[in-house]
Amino acid sequence: MKLPFIFRTLFKCGIALLLSSISNVSCDIFDYSNYIDINDEYIPSYVDVAYGTIPNGGVYRFLHTTTDYVIRVKAGKLNLTTIMLINNIPADIFVEEFIRDDKEVVTITSYGKSILYNMERLFVELSSNECKYITQEERDDFVGGPVMLRTDLLEKYMHPVIDSTITSRDGRLTILYSVGNKGYDKKESSFSFLWYNQLDFIISPLLNIDGVSRMAMGKAVMLTSRITSFLPQVRQNGIIFTIDKTGDREYFLKMVPSDCGAAASRNMISESVKIGQILPIPAMDRPDTVIMDISMETEPSFDVVVLDNVKKGNLLLYGQQSFLPIREVQNLYVKIRDVSNDADIYSVKDDEFIAYVEKFYSSGTIMYVTVNTKKLESPDGAETRIIFKNENVDGIVHYREIGDDEFESYNSLVYDIYRIWPVQHEIPTHLRGLDMSEISPLITVAYETGFGV
């Protein structure tokens, strides 16, 4: 028998009085056990957590538990909801927090056979010590775009909107991960259907995709793009992925060598570029402007894929930004910038296009940036590499193209530091005479201990 709406609302919100407009309902103050407090810094072991971001500097946190442990969701002293069960079968509780500046919106979803109508969902806006119940449309307006899910291949828990399916590729079984709320496909092993018609989700960044770097200490290798599905290719040391709003088209990313002495740069996206006119086009007249921000302060363009935190030897980290073949390159006016330091690095010329950009950095400081270009008249021809060095003069960062006499130092630093030097050995020949302070303060540790950092 269907309960009247007023009683269902009372059950959901845990309030004693229903006001005339639900948007003005205030959450009551409770202090009972068997709850989870979203304001508490401590997260119990029976709560799974996932993280992400929302547009315009907002953050996203996702909590998952069951009624075996929790029947109330609180924000400090405010009781946001009390889960009402109609039998003793455990139900799942999902809490989503969307936070930007001093405002927070919370979505609480309860699902299971013990829940009236199997699923209940409510939306709450928090500010200071007050809250009010809002509509889904108001929640969506606040979020303002897709939720970018931080996804780590080494973590045991992934956001349940990401489905995993065992599939066969080239005669081998592998796991396909995909955002599963694009259609209402109710599977017993998945909760993704609960988010059907509920926001857009993007998998980004994707962490620990590189087998070599997983075994090394330090930051996780990170892939940033508008990923909607991915298929790890361990034997090929790469990953197949699809991106938002391009259908089922697959792209293959081949990992840049990590901890190896390859002296040549390589584009991690091997597909040929998309090109129409092969004659020079004035750069300023090209219709689409793309900012490639090597500091990653701004979100990359939808057709740019970013690889970061690749371990290069003992001291350096490596990053690359490359274009997917979606837009024709002769239409792209590309500018390379370090947004965090408000520094311009390079702008595409009339007769060329940008193939990919690399950065080499240590201890958070970018040391070199290489811009790899190709001629519009010969898109499958040789690349031209332009190398820029980061220089700080009186607190102002700028990037200077290096001269021919500086290339040996650059090449030695960037490509040849790939070994652990035993303490009894002399300093490698190619490093003698270099200013060690510009490499990394950690290099001293490498020499004195014989171990890389």
Burial of 344 (0-12, 13-18, 19+ CB in 10 A): exposed
- Same domain, yes or no: 23 and 132: yes
On whether both 382 and 436 belong to a single domain, the answer is: no
Do 307 and 355 reside in the same domain of the chain?
yes
Structural domain tally of the chain? 4
Q: Considering 109, 143, 177, which residue would you say is the last residue of a domain?
A: 143
Range of the domain at 203: 148-253
Judge if 272 and 362 occupy the same domain: yes
Element spanning 358, H or E: strand 352-362
d(CA 449, CA 443): 10
Q: How confident is the model at residue 199 (pLDDT cuts 50, 70, 90)?
A: very high
pLDDT computed for residue 33 by the predictor: 61
End-to-end CA distance of the chain: 66
Q: Which residue has the higher pLDDT, 362 or 353?
A: 353
The residues with which 133 forms a beta bridge, in sequence order, are 124
Residues 6+ apart with CB under 8 A from 380: 272
Q: Are residues 177 and 194 in the same domain?
A: yes
Is 60 exceeded by the pLDDT of residue 435? no
415 and 425 assigned to the same domain: no
Task: Mark whether 269 and 401 lie in a shared domain.
Answer: yes
Residue 392: which pLDDT band, with cuts at 50, 70 and 90?
Answer: very high
Cα 217 to chain centroid, rounded: 20
Task: Mark which of 98, 121, 143 sits at the end of a domain.
Answer: 143
Q: What percent of the chain has pLDDT over 70?
A: 79
The amino acid occupying position 212 is: V
> How confident is the model at residue 190, as a pLDDT?
82
Residues 317 and 353 in one domain: yes
Strands 384-393 and 365-375: antiparallel
Please indicate, yes or no, whether residues 272 and 412 belong to a single structural domain of this protein: yes
Q: Which residue has the higher pLDDT, 263 or 214?
A: 214
Q: What is the CA radius of gyration of the chain?
A: 26
CA–CA gap between residue 375 and residue 352 (Å, rounded): 4
Position 359 scores a pLDDT of 94
Average pLDDT, integer, range 43-66: 96
* Interacting residues of 395 by C-beta distance below 8 A, sequence separation 6+: none
Query: Of 253, 280, 295, at which residue does a domain stop?
Result: 253
202 lies in the same domain as 292: no
178 shares its domain with 215: yes
Residue-averaged pLDDT of the chain: 82
Residue 407 sits at φ, ψ, to 5 deg, of -65, -40
Of 209, 207, 212, 220, nearest in space to 309 by CA = 220
Determine which of 68-72, 368-372, 431-435 has the lowest per-residue pLDDT on average.
431-435
Q: Flag the least confident range among 47-56, 213-222, 321-330.
A: 213-222
CA diameter of the chain: 85
| Digit-coded pLDDT (tens) for 248-296 | 899 999 987 655 544 457 899 989 999 998 888 999 999 999 999 999 9
**Cα separation, 147 vs 126, whole angstroms:** 19
Say if residue 45 is in the same domain as residue 105.
Answer: yes
Helices and strands of the chain, counted as H and E runs: 5, 26
